[in-house]
Amino acid sequence: MTIRLALALILLLAPLSSRAAVFNPHSFTLDNGLQVVVIENRRAPIVSHMVWYKVGDADAPQGLSGMPHLLEHLMFKGTPAVGPGLFSKIVARNGGRDNAFTGSDFTAYYQNIAADRLELVMKMEADRMANLVLDPKLIDTERKVVLEERRSRTDNDPAARLREKMGALQYDRHPYRNPVIGWESDIRAITPADLSTFYRQWYAPNNAILIVAGDVTAEKVKRLAETYYGVLPARPVSLRQRPSEPEASGPKRVELRDKSVRQPMWVRDYQAPSRRQDSLRDSHALEVLENILGGGATSRLYEALVVKAKLAAAAGVSYGTDRYDMSEFSFHATPNPGVAMPALEAAVEAEIAKLIEHGVTEQEVARAKTRLIDGAVYARDSLSSGSYALGRALGTGQSIDDIESWPERIERVTRDEVNAAIRAVLVDRNAVTGLLLGEAQ
């Protein structure tokens, strides 16, 4: 018996109460409202230090999409104590690496560094939480960097442009319709005053989560966090006020043709509940379904379209649970050379129809649950997996328990629940279909 299979069996056979934990974090909240999470992992003498802010592009004022991402860039441009561009240089000189990323619902900053340098990065991160200098000249320079990033990653990438168009169709009013990097006209419209207001409105300890993982103790992190973050005052933070999305009125379709496309693509998104929004308890069933349909070369969709029918070079599904509001359950397929897109689309739609009519089997559900729980076991070995899983969850209104009890919740998913989720989500009126084609196709 392999170690992988043995661990999976241990999880399945153990009492639920004994396996309802994944990362076993320590958590506490400072007096100023900063939530602190510590994941002790002694496999190497390094630490991952992350700060997650509960704000993303969906919280940008109307007409100023991309502002959270531009502010993320500017967070590296200095404070009175750490000059422009020095933050990353100091981290590198001390043998570490750092970066940041922005999503629709959160913005995060991280440093991976030797454990004995934790105090250094904590001091600098706490400094820029409160003391960022927003120099108009640096803002203009970084705006150009972001516009060039948009040109290279979106405007010059047909697949990215297709996804952008599909998002704008999927949502009529909700800001998830906007790309995280922002629309070009919005990026150009952002002023220094807008950025300063946004920074003071959202970048506060009581709107942040500090996650430290690695060769540390909770006691040491608490002492350092109180020293550097605990002295920062809490500030009033805006409630997330986003327009409600009306019920979808019918299927939508977008086609993008570009002479640079060498590999066509077919995509379909169905609006689906996120884990936080999961009043119908569909999200865990949809995670099991995602694994059944798209969990590798033995998954149902891959086997049907790639292995048996030989219509597709690739096929799969994706589902994102970590959204503050709604999410999408997506199908995608790439045709083999010589296969017409209508033939591929008909084949995928036949698989979806079969899924709706007949559902999934008990065996498929059991295998998917085993694979998912098995994956949770191996996530414990990674320095970053816990930080990312907990950060994304807490940044989108979930709790530590939602992550720690995830294996137990997955294990309780039944075939009937998966089939009910299929019929609730895979509805034509919720669908947006996108086709990426070359000019001659």
The residue extents of the domains of the chain are: 25-228, 252-437
Q: Name the E strands within 285-372.
A: 312-319, 327-335
Round to whole Å and give the CA distance between 181 and 185: 12
Round to whole Å and give the CA distance between 123 and 130: 11
Q: What is the pTM of this model?
A: 0.92
| pLDDT tens string 286-308 | 999 999 999 888 899 999 999 99
184 tagged catalytic = no
DSSP 156: T
Q: Which of 171, 193, 351 is nearest to 249 (CA)?
A: 171
Query: What is the reported pLDDT for 75?
Result: 98
- Residues of the chain with pLDDT > 90: what percent? 86
| pLDDT tens string 231-258 | 999 999 988 989 888 888 889 999 999 9
- Catalytic option among 40, 72, 351, 364: 72
The helix (run of H) or strand (run of E) holding residue 51 is strand 46-53
Is 269 in contact with 166 (CB distance < 8 Å)? yes
The pairing of beta strand 107-114 with beta strand 26-29: unpaired
CATH class of domain segment(s) 25-228: alpha beta
Q: Residues for the chain: how many in total? A: 441
pLDDT confidence band for 279 (50 / 70 / 90): low
What tokens does 247 get? 């019920």
| pLDDT tens string 191-225 | 999 999 999 999 999 999 999 999 999 999 999 99
User: Where does 252-437 sit in CATH, by number?
Assistant: 3.30.830.10
Is 161 in contact with 154 (CB distance < 8 Å)? yes
Q: Which of 18, 224, 27 is nearest to 119 (CA)?
A: 224
| pLDDT tens string 362-402 | 999 999 999 999 988 888 778 889 999 999 999 999 999 99
Round to whole Å and give the CA distance between 417 and 320: 18
